[in-house]
């Protein structure tokens, strides 16, 4: 039947990969997206000039009316997890939630309200609310194991964050890229296009990955390391670069602190010792060190996988920081540029009002005693030095927070106090957080639970109030590519509600309404997300209405070597190879290698029963974490969760391609379908993560099949497994066993 409504064409920024910034053109009729492609002429396109877009972008066509979308606020009427709800008005939801929060704040203290935050567009709005409310117990996935840890380590070592932690591809001058725990052909197609360009211009590509992915076809060198041994490898590379005199002497002399101490430390990491630890041959270690040090400028972008290896996670970024600095690749065009504060737009960090959280409340953050770099003690030190260094106050979002494991443990154990109310905003921790058993028990036990999502997820199933959010294509936002001063915008491609149909709200609206009811009136004067954007664009002299019509500003070039003017915003004013900040916090001032919490070496007895090494989380094209599994177009392309197993291993265990395989760790077992894969070490297996079955029953005990194939049944949040500086939990590089599943 021909629709009555006119065809509309809209352009907006895609957020389907978190950090990516493809600009898409949508054709819309009658509030349905009927076509999605890269916007012609836009600076950021999936495959430049071909008009193509990826499977997730295609999946957006079905997002508005997909099965399981939340349309109205709901309040639980049955027991938790029984899937019995009543539809309520937003006013009722806001009033009841605000009353409970007020009571907890007044009788028990604001820190008893906690929040797990995801990667929605308006993360600053949740921070703003919590900072004003007085609770330091806001944290989440992105703040910790997805960039937050990298930002904070960079800040301690450099006083600033490198830019290639974000989605920018390397610039034209780049001659060498190290893809280190990063599979950009899947996770960041934009970056990968730029990285292939480096190769086409005669540059080098080095891959550090236990699996040989599509990227190895382009690689000059592939270091197939044992999972979780990255810090040792990095220290080995530094050893070669220093001992063979391949470092940038002038930069080291003038701009670094602690070179002699570093030199001393890396002496124990000889290529042969590192070869023993990592399984990479010593020849390859030497070759990689030379290739990176001699093909300048070179870039080491961030790769997430190393943030997930548990105790030793953040030292991987520390060795990467040091490598960039001692080779003189820091803040130069073609190397790793710093972000530079651009006065044009009001940043998310300016909006989150970190200064409003009183220090005595900040100090109550759960886990502040053991994640020192990532909580009040580290925040105080870094803020002071950044201010003294002339940079803006340190942003709280992504850099300050509670230890997520402690939020869940606090609910279960009441120590050091009991969290009474828990928000989960734009996150699906039952699928994406480590140790699902723990998260599940805490979500069942917490006194009061509010979930804001766009779908009825397994996590939402355990809420008391479930509030329907707008997806990013239904809410407006800007993203700002700092170094090149490009600003990209994402309009509301579809309305949040229309003609009485649906009643979804932006995350901003929700926290504003709660803020207004809790005495925060003066801080929520912008009535809508659009008014916030007017404010954020004010200094540029454009309104959101004007900006949204051409939602990208042309990049205007690159600025390098900012340190020549302002130095480094660290206590010594230099790149701290030896970190005085770590030292003051009682942490090791130099990076050091620790075995993964579970490995054939650290836990040999466990390895007898669990002889394989499990890695999880390598991205797949059709899904964004736990998202898009209910979107037909994506699910049809990728119907089952897949585990990659080496053919020799599979043969030994009587497993064939397509067989269901049971994967078991000390914490539980799941099943996934075998995909034979040559380019993986025979004792390493790679399990997909984020997989659930939205078509199965939502109520307990099924909970949309979360116990069946969800890799985070296997992972851990035990404190002793978590990173000692930032608290990253343990998602990959652990011991497991595998066997053919008996069930069909």
Contacts with ligand MGD by CB under 6 A lie at: 17-19, 118-121, 141-142, 145-146, 180-184, 186-188, 208-211, 213, 227-228, 230, 303-306, 308-309, 426-429, 432, 452-455, 457, 469, 471-472, 507, 615-619, 621, 623-627, 689-690, 711-712, 715, 731-733
Q: Which does 308 bind (CB under 5 to 8 A by kind): Mo ion, ligand MGD, none?
A: ligand MGD
Residues 611 and 683: beta-carbon distance below 8 Å: yes
**Between 146 and 266, CB nearer to Mo ion:** 146
Question: Coil, strand, or helix at residue 177?
Answer: strand
Question: Coil, strand, or helix at residue 483?
Answer: coil
Q: Which does 427 bind (CB under 5 to 8 A by kind): Mo ion, ligand MGD, none?
A: ligand MGD
Tokens of 318: 């520390």
DSSP bridge pairs for 422: 114, 449
CB 731, min distance to ligand MGD, A: 4
By C-alpha distance, which of 5, 31, 66, 90 is closest to 501?
31
CB 308, min distance to ligand MGD, A: 6
CB 647, min distance to ligand MGD, A: 17
**Between 159 and 476, CB nearer to ligand MGD:** 476
**Between 145 and 332, CB nearer to ligand MGD:** 145
**Between 335 and 458, CB nearer to ligand MGD:** 458
Going by the DSSP 8-state scheme, the letter that residue 711 receives in this structure is G
CB 719, min distance to ligand MGD, A: 18
CB 315, min distance to ligand MGD, A: 13
The DSSP code sequence of 123-176 is: HHHHHHHHHHHT---EEEHHHHTTTHHHHHHHHHHHSS-BGGGSSPPPPTT--E
Distance CA 731, CA 470 (A): 29
Q: How far is CA 316 from the centre of its chain?
A: 16
Question: Coil, strand, or helix at residue 313?
Answer: helix
Distance CA 628, CA 635 (A): 7
Half-sphere exposure for 257 (CA within 13 Å, toward CB)? 19
Q: Which does 17 bind (CB under 5 to 8 A by kind): Mo ion, ligand MGD, none?
A: ligand MGD
Going by the DSSP 8-state scheme, the letter that residue 364 receives in this structure is T
Tokens of 689: 């993560």
**Between 178 and 553, CB nearer to ligand MGD:** 178
Q: Which residue is nearest to Mo ion (CB)?
A: 146
Q: Which does 303 bind (CB under 5 to 8 A by kind): Mo ion, ligand MGD, none?
A: ligand MGD
Q: Which does 160 bind (CB under 5 to 8 A by kind): Mo ion, ligand MGD, none?
A: none
**Between 31 and 340, CB nearer to ligand MGD:** 31
CB 53, min distance to Mo ion, A: 21
Going by the DSSP 8-state scheme, the letter that residue 130 receives in this structure is H
Q: Which does 616 bind (CB under 5 to 8 A by kind): Mo ion, ligand MGD, none?
A: ligand MGD
CB 627, min distance to ligand MGD, A: 5
CB 470, min distance to ligand MGD, A: 6
Q: Which does 374 bind (CB under 5 to 8 A by kind): Mo ion, ligand MGD, none?
A: none
**Between 627 and 686, CB nearer to Mo ion:** 627
| Phi-psi domain of 67 (left: phi exceeds 0; alpha: psi -120 through 50; beta: other) | beta
> In Å, what is the CA distance from 552 to each residue of 11, 43, 194, 282, 533?
10, 8, 19, 47, 14
**Between 256 and 432, CB nearer to ligand MGD:** 432
CB 651, min distance to ligand MGD, A: 22
**Between 104 and 466, CB nearer to ligand MGD:** 466
Going by the DSSP 8-state scheme, the letter that residue 64 receives in this structure is T
Q: Which segments of 17-156 are extended strands (E)? A: 23-29, 32-38, 74-76, 85-87, 113-117, 138-140
Tokens of 154: 């960079």
Q: Which does 12 bind (CB under 5 to 8 A by kind): ligand MGD, Mo ion, none?
A: none
Distance CA 466, CA 76 (A): 8
CB 306, min distance to ligand MGD, A: 6
**Is 256 buried (19+), middle (13-18) or exposed (0-12) by CB count in 10 A?**
buried
Going by the DSSP 8-state scheme, the letter that residue 501 receives in this structure is B
By C-alpha distance, which of 70, 73, 74 is closest to 86?
74
> In Å, what is the CA distance from 717 to each residue of 68, 81, 401, 606?
29, 23, 16, 18
Q: Which does 454 bind (CB under 5 to 8 A by kind): Mo ion, ligand MGD, none?
A: ligand MGD
Chain length of the chain: 744
**Between 181 and 705, CB nearer to ligand MGD:** 181
Residue ranges in contact with Mo ion by CB under 5 A: 146
Distance CA 46, CA 402 (A): 36
Q: Which does 670 bind (CB under 5 to 8 A by kind): ligand MGD, Mo ion, none?
A: none
Distance CA 143, CA 156 (A): 16
**Between 313 and 410, CB nearer to ligand MGD:** 313
Distance CA 383, CA 159 (A): 10
CB 142, min distance to Mo ion, A: 6
Distance CA 473, CA 491 (A): 7
CB 436, min distance to ligand MGD, A: 10
**Between 223 and 391, CB nearer to ligand MGD:** 223
Q: Which does 136 bind (CB under 5 to 8 A by kind): ligand MGD, Mo ion, none?
A: none
Q: Which does 625 bind (CB under 5 to 8 A by kind): Mo ion, ligand MGD, none?
A: ligand MGD
């Amino acid at each position: 039947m021909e629709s009555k409504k006119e065809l509309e064409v809209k352009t907006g920024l895609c957020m389907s990969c978190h950090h990516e910034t493809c600009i898409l053109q949508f054709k819309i009729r009658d509030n349905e997206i009927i076509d999605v492609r890269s916007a012609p002429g836009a600076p950021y396109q999936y495959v430049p000039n071909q008009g193509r877009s990826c499977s997730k972008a295609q999946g957006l066509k079905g997002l508005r009316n997909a099965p399981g979308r939340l349309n109205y606020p709901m309040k639980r009427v049955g027991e938790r997890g029984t899937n019995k709800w009543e539809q309520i008005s937003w006013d009722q939801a806001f009033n009841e939630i605000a009353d409970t929060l007020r009571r907890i704040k007044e009788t028990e203290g604001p820190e008893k309200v906690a929040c797990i935050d995801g990667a929605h567009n308006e993360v600053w709005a949740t921070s703003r609310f919590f900072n004003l409310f007085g609770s330091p117990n806001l944290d989440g996935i992105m703040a910790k194991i997805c960039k937050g840890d990298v930002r904070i380590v960079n800040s301690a070592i450099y006083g600033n964050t490198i830019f290639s932690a974000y989605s920018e591809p390397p610039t034209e001058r780049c001659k060498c890229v190290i893809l280190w725990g990063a599979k950009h052909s899947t996770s960041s197609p934009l970056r990968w296009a730029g990285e292939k360009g480096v190769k086409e211009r005669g540059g080098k590509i080095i891959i550090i990955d236990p699996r040989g992915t599509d990227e190895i076809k382009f690689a000059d060198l592939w270091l197939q390391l044992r999972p979780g041994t990255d810090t040792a490898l990095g220290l080995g590379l530094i050893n070669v670069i220093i001992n063979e005199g391949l470092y940038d002497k002038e930069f080291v002399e003038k701009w670094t602190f602690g070179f002699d101490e570093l030199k001393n430390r890396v002496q124990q990491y000889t290529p042969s010792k590192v070869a023993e630890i990592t399984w990479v041959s010593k020849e390859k270690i030497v070759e990689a060190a030379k290739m990176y040090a001699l093909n300048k400028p070179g870039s080491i972008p961030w790769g997430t996988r190393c943030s997930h290896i548990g105790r030793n996670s953040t030292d991987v970024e520390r060795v990467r920081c040091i490598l960039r600095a001692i080779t003189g690749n820091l803040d130069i065009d073609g190397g790793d540029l710093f972000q530079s504060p651009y006065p044009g737009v009001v940043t998310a960090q300016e909006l989150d009002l970190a200064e409003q959280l009183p220090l005595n409340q900040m100090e109550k953050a759960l886990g502040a005693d053991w994640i020192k770099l990532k909580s009040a003690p580290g925040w105080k030190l870094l803020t002071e030095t950044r201010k003294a260094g002339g940079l803006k106050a340190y942003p709280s979002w992504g850099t300050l927070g509670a230890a997520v494991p402690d939020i869940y443990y606090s609910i279960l154990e009441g120590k050091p106090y009991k969290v009474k109310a828990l928000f989960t905003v734009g996150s699906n921790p039952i699928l994406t957080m480590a140790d699902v058993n723990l998260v599940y028990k805490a979500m069942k036990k917490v006194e009061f639970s509010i979930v804001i999502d766009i779908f009825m997820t397994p996590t939402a199933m355990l809420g008391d109030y479930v509030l329907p959010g707008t997806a990013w294509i239904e809410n407006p936002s800007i993203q700002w590519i700092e170094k090149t001063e490009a600003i990209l915008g994402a309009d509301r491609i579809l309305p949040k509600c229309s003609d009485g149909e649906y009643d979804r709200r932006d995350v901003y609206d929700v926290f504003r309404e709660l803020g207004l009811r809790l005495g925060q009136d003066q801080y929520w004067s912008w009535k809508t997300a659009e008014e916030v954007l007017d404010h954020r664009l004010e200094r540029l002299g454009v309104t959101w209405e004007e900006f949204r019509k051409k939602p990208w500003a042309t990049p205007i070039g690159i600025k390098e070597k900012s340190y020549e003017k302002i130095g480094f915003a660290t206590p010594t004013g230099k790149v701290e190879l030896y970190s005085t900040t770590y030292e003051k916090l009682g942490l090791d001032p130099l990076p050091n290698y620790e075995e993964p919490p579970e490995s054939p070496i650290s836990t040999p007895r466990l390895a007898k029963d669990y002889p394989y090494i499990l890695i999880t989380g390598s991205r797949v094209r059709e899904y964004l974490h736990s998202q898009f599994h209910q979107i037909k177009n994506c699910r049809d392309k990728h119907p089952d969760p897949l585990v990659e197993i080496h053919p020799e291993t599979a043969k030994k265990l009587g497993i064939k391609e397509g067989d269901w395989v049971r994967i078991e760790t000390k914490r539980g077992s799941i099943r996934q379908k075998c995909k034979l894969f040559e380019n993986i070490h025979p004792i390493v297996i790679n399990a997909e993560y984020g997989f659930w079955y939205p078509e199965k029953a939502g109520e307990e005990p099924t909970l949309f099949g979360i116990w069946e194939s969800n890799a985070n049944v296997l992972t851990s949040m035990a404190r002793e497994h978590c990173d000692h500086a930032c608290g990253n939990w343990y998602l990959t590089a652990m011991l497991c066993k595998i066997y053919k599943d008996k069930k069909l």
